[in-house]
């Protein structure tokens, strides 16, 4: 099987061309491939598939390192765009793709950064999904040892956003793992810890469901900005500083699409026998 290793702000991805080669991977196969000692190693695996709709250029399947299929991955989607363009699977600079739940337009900019139309943030608890009596800008979640105040939104996958004052000393793994499987999130949740530097600038650390803390998460960056704008804390254009680098996220508010702009890098091509 041929594969390509790519990097998006410190998150590493394996991308497999399922257009020109037949790919059938089990959850066990994916866990083996993700192992950094015995396999290739990655945070997420993306498979390029032919479109299911003539209006779409490609379909993208996304898997976490634990073998579970997910709906969305902002950093991975940017790598996906660069992969199909530079591997000459398309000559378009505006690429229409579908994932398990969404349709998006990926644009390759003149400086080779990737702009992604992520669609509108979803705050309806039933669609996130999130068990709560009604929508609120700020929710209260109870853990055995503390009470958490947070915003909750979906960017194609569920996100819980927590404001913090000291991001460097925040117990990301401890709180992230406790909230990931919280009973209010039937599909589990990605947990982000946001420090607001100013209205155009935030710092973010992310605990991704099925992965753990990562150096960057595109959908979490989008979710954090959406929650910050919804709560009146941020302006419509925000630099999101993650341990792996910076993303620009812009959103003009309700009923408007949210855009994410960032860089990606090619690492290597390889072959592996399963």
**Catalytic site residue from 60, 73, 160, 184:** 73
Q: What is the three-class DSSP state of 168?
A: helix
What phi and psi values does residue 62 have, to the nearest 5 degrees? -125, 130
Please provide the DSSP assignment of 180-204 as one string: HT-TT-TT--EEEEEEEEETTEEEE
**What are the E-state strand segments in 143-257?**
147-154, 158-163, 190-198, 201-208, 212-214, 237-242, 245-251
β-bridge mates for residue 139, sequence order: 150
Give residue 149's Cα distance to chain centre.
22
β-bridge mates for residue 245, sequence order: 242
Helix axis angle for 74-86 and 218-230, nearest 10°, is 130
Residue 217 designated active-site: yes
Q: With CA atoms as reference, report the closest residue to 194 among 231, 155, 241, 232.
A: 241
Residue 73 designated active-site: yes
SS3 content of the chain, % helix, strand, coil (to 5): 20, 40, 45
**Catalytic site residue from 60, 79, 160, 217:** 217
Give catalytic residue positions: 73, 217
């Amino acid at each position: 099987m041929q594969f390509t290793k790519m990097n998006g702000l410190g998150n590493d991805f394996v991308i497999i061309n399922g257009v020109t080669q037949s790919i059938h991977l089990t959850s066990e196969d994916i866990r083996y491939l993700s192992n950094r000692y015995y396999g290739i190693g990655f945070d997420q695996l993306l498979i390029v598939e032919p479109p299911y709709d003539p209006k779409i250029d490609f379909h993208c399947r996304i898997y976490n390192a634990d073998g579970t299929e997910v709906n969305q991955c902002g950093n991975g989607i940017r790598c996906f765009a660069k992969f199909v363009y530079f591997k000459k699977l398309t000559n378009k600079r505006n690429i229409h793709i579908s994932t398990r739940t969404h349709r998006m337009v990926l644009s390759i900019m003149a400086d080779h950064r990737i702009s992604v139309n992520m669609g509108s943030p979803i705050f309806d608890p039933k669609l996130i999904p999130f068990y709560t009596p009604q929508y609120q800008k700020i929710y209260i979640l109870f853990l055995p040892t503390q009470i958490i105040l947070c915003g909750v939104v979906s960017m194609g996958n569920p996100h819980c956003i927590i404001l913090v004052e000291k991001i460097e000393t925040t117990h990301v793994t401890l709180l992230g793992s406790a909230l990931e499987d919280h009973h209010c999130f039937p599909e589990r949740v990605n947990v982000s810890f946001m420090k607001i530097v100013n209205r155009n600038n935030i710092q973010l650390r992310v605990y991704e469901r099925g992965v753990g803390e990562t150096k960057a998460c595109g959908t979490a960056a989008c979710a954090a900005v959406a929650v910050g704008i919804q709560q009146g804390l941020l302006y419509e254009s925000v630099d999101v500083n993650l341990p792996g680098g910076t993303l620009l996220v812009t959103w003009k508010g309700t009923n408007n699409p949210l855009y994410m702009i960032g860089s990606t890098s090619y690492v290597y091509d390889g072959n592996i026998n399963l």
